[in-house]
Amino acid sequence: MFRDEAEIEVIAGDGGDGIVSFRREKYVPKGGPDGGDGGDGGDVVLIACTEVHSLLELGRQYRYTAQHGTRGGSRNMSGRSGEGVELRVPVGTVVKDAERGNVLRDLDTPGASVIAALGGKGGKGNARFATAVRQVPRIATPGIPGEHRRLKLELKLFAEVGLLGFPNAGKSTFLSRVSAARPKIADYPFTTLVPQVGIVPVGDYDTLVMADLPGLIEGAAEGAGLGHRFLRHVERCKVLLHLIDVSSLAEPAPVEAFRILDAELARYSPELYAKPRLVVATKAHEDDDSDARVAELAAAVGGRVLAMSSVLGLGVPEVLRAAREIVRG
C-alpha cells in the first residue's frame, strides 16, 4: 500500500543531571569534588533510504521517542548517553515542522539526513566548578530537555517524466506498455488511486523514470475527485506529458479536456505550469476520424501534438524520444 503523507511526533531524550559528590577516602578528611556530568539525550534522526518507497510504515506509529541520558556518578563518572532513534524514509521526503510550516530539510538524495529532534545536553557535575578559590563547590546543573516536535512528512517522487490527464485518458496503459510497471487498467471510467512509477527504456542505452498520477478533473482545485493532492509528485519532473483522449468516446472532448487540464495546472502552481510540456493525443489511429480530432486539438494547443496508440504501439517510440530530448537537453 502506498502512502505519501504522514504526521508524526518526535521526542528527543533529555540530558541527565550532573551531581554533587565528594571523595571519601581514608586519611583524606576533606576529599575534593568528584561529581560527574550527566549523559546527553538521544537524537531523533530521519535518513533517506532507497530501500523505502512509502511513508506507510512510519505513519503507523505516531510517536517516536529517544532515550534520556542518565545522571552522572561519583568518582567523576559521566552518565550514559541516551540511545537515539533513526527513522528511514523514502528518498524525496520533505520534512516540515507541522506547527510552523517551515521546511526542515528536503531529503532528496540517498543517505541525506536531518536531526528532527536534538537531544538535550547533560548537566555538569560539581567537579566542573572547582577552582582555586572555590575548592568545595556544592553546585551541579540539571540536564537540558530534548526537543519535542510534530513533523509533517510529504513524499515527492523522483520521476523525470510526469503523466497528467483525465481519468481513463490512457496514462496507465501507456506506462504498462513502455515499462514493467503494472498499474490497474480497465475498460470503464477509472482513475489510478496512487502514483505509479516505471523505468522506461529509450533506445539501446538510455532509460527514463516515468510517473503516472491519479487523473485530474475539473474543479480539482476545490477538492473534486482527488484534487491536487498528487501533483507534488511531478514537481521534480523535467517534462510533463499531457495525455488527451482523442477517441470517439472521449469525455470531455479533446479540446475541452486540454483547456481544463491547462487551467487546473496553472491554478496549482505557476512553477509547475512553466515546466516543459508535451501534449500527447492518446487512443489515436484507432478509428477513421481520430486524425481530424488530433488536428483540431493541435489548432487549439497552438503547437505540436504527438499522436499515439498504446494498444497498437503506434507513435509510442516518437513520444519517448521527444520526452528524452527534453530531459537530456
Q: What is the pLDDT of residues 150-180, one digit of tens each?
A: 999 998 877 889 888 887 788 888 988 888 7
For residue 104, which amino acid is it?
A: L
**For the whole prediction, is pTM greater than 0.75?**
no
Q: What is the pLDDT of residues 236-258, one digit of tens each?
A: 889 999 999 999 888 889 999 99
* pLDDT computed for residue 30 by the predictor: 62
C-alpha cell at 329: 537537453
Residues of the chain with pLDDT under 70: 1-2, 27-30, 181-194, 214-231
Handedness of CA 5, 192, 219, 300 (dihedral sign): positive
* Contact present, 147 and 117 (Cβ < 8 Å): yes
**Residue 198 in 3-state DSSP?**
strand
Which structural domains are found in the chain, ordered by start? Answer: 5-155 (2.70.210.12), 161-328 (3.40.50.300)
Backbone angles phi, psi at 126, to 5 degrees: -70, -15
Continuous segment of H or E residues that includes residue 47: strand 44-49
Backbone angles phi, psi at 315, to 5 degrees: 80, -10
- CA atoms of 170 and 186, how far apart (whole Å): 10
* Contact present, 11 and 84 (Cβ < 8 Å): no
